[in-house]
Amino acid sequence: MSRVLVTGGAGFLGSHLCDRLIRDGHDVLCLDNFYTGSKQNILHLLDHRYFELMRHDVTFPLYVEVDRIFNLACPASPVHYQHDPVQTTKTSVHGAINMLGLAKRLRARILQASTSEVYGDPEVHPQREEYWGRVNPIGIRSCYDEGKRCAETLFFDYHRQHALDVKVVRIFNTYGPRMHPNDGRVVSNFIVQALRGEDITIYGDGQQTRSFCYVDDLIEAMVRTMETGPDFTGPVNIGNPHEHTIRELAEKIIGMVGGSSKLVFKPLPQDDPRQRQPDISLAKEKLGWEPQVHVDDGLRETIAYFRRLLGK
């Protein structure tokens, strides 16, 4: 049994990670300030003898005793991270500094949940870890994109300067139960609009692409990354290499939900990436991992979750 800290543990990904760590027999400390996380996501764990919840903001120092740290704290959807962009940057940068400082004191292994957004609007397709990205440093998405890039910088500087045992995963679009219904992401947007019988809003012409990874597959990859030896730091792409256009996704969800929703097209937001597809060769080689859940199966589970949540 390891004592494991999960920052952002009441969020979409964090709560699924807590579930997995508890199932694996670990003692889990879940940390969240509930800016985007929800107690509902971890309500079923509150009475578990090896689960503890702490309300705390990672932009402030933390003094606990743990063996491993998963740093997931940061709003991850454009709606949420653009609401308070200064705080978003602080969460990524100050949060990384505080968690790395904690890991240094404890000599604990620490994993950073980074993002495919470090590649920006890429000129290389699919994206490999060696690609440095094409990011606007002063745009409306920069608080998140550059915040995560700076967090990666800090992780590798702590690794080089202090010999800290670090891991960095770059997460591509992930979906599944416990997504926030108003987070502005395409999967949740399309499902909620379809269940409510509303028109489906597509930004741009719908030909921009994304690669959608089901949450269970993502968590499996994160756990495997944490279990690798100290010689492997990443960054490693974690995502589904099968690419879909946004329009294809919308039409698929309408077909699965049913109803009479129509497609409505609106202008593309600033700096919205045209392509997003991971090259997962490194994950296959180092983790023995690739996604197992077909997008249709994952969408069925996600639609069922939102039906229960919305009473539809």
Instruction: Output the six-digit token pair for 150.
Output: 């700076």
Say which DSSP state 235 is in: -
- Looking at residue 60, the DSSP 8-state letter turns out to be S
**Coil, strand, or helix at residue 202?**
strand
- Whether the Cβ atoms of residue 240 and residue 212 lie closer than 8 Å to each other: yes
Please give the Cα distance from 186 to 9 (Å, whole number). Answer: 23
CB-CB contact of 173 with 299 (8 Å): no
Q: Which two tokens stand for residue 152?
A: 């990666």
Q: Known catalytic residue: 144?
A: yes
- Active-site entry in 81, 119, 144, 175: 144
Distance CA 195, CA 209 (A): 23
Torsional sign, CA 154, 279, 73, 164: negative
Selection from 87, 2, 71, 63 nearest residue 30 by Cα: 71
Residues with a catalytic annotation lie at 144
